[in-house]
Structure 1
Amino acid sequence: MTLRWEAFLAQVQERGEYGTPQEAERAARTVMALLGAHLVGEVRAELAARLPETFALILLSPLQAAEPLPPERFVRAAAAWIEGATEQTATWDVSAVLSVAADVAGEDLTHRILLQLPPGYDLLFGRPQPT
């Protein structure tokens, strides 16, 4: 279990080019909490099952968004929660975490996650969809 946690964080740290695992963890916790508030049902449970336990619990937190935020507002919300973040750095943070989550989820689950979210999240997940 610990290895999965460390491996997940190492990937986030590498993609986000963070100086420390703590920075990667802070971004991952924030983004997973926001993502969890946007996903429902089976898709949310399946993603949680593939994540390290700590992030699975954050994703499954009972907090639910009143309505799914468009990608720009999702990034803005992340910026508000990540200490010292700007919209530019938050876009980087969100993409680093969501692209690793997409790798963990696999193509089929990532596709189903994207179907639950407003248009435009494909880029944040590092999975640009053909138009």
Structure 2
Amino acid sequence: MSDHAPPSAPDLFDAAKATRLLAHAPYSGFKVGAAIRSESGRIHAGCNVENAAYPQGQCAEATAIGLMVASGDRRITELVVVGGEAGSGLICTPCGGCRQRIREFAGPDTPIHIYDAGGYRQSFTLGELLPFSFGPDNLGF
């Protein structure tokens, strides 16, 4: 995907940016927000939730996916991740675990747009972030 032209997803950016501010990140101080547009057109936004037992924390993408599933939707058509302060220059892509979680509900052409709190940074497809992925189709679903 283009890393120069911002996507036409300001509603997803606004939802992810607002949810990022609600993150529970007392240990790292690194707040992340994510917003999914599902096949119904609804937006599902989530933030990271840290835990004193570090492995028990939850990424913003996982929170958004859980909310999407709880609403009855099962397909991600577009995703925005907002991580880092405005002007940080940071490219905060989904971690490996979240890439696999996204893969459960999205195909290789699903766009993933990366922002910092100030605005657009870069876009990728899921296939670019997770090439040769293992997903439901590998199991015959």
TM-score with structure 1 setting the length: 0.32
Report which structure shows greater RCO (CA 8 Å, sep ≥6): 1
Indicate the structure (1 or 2) with the bigger Cα radius of gyration: 2
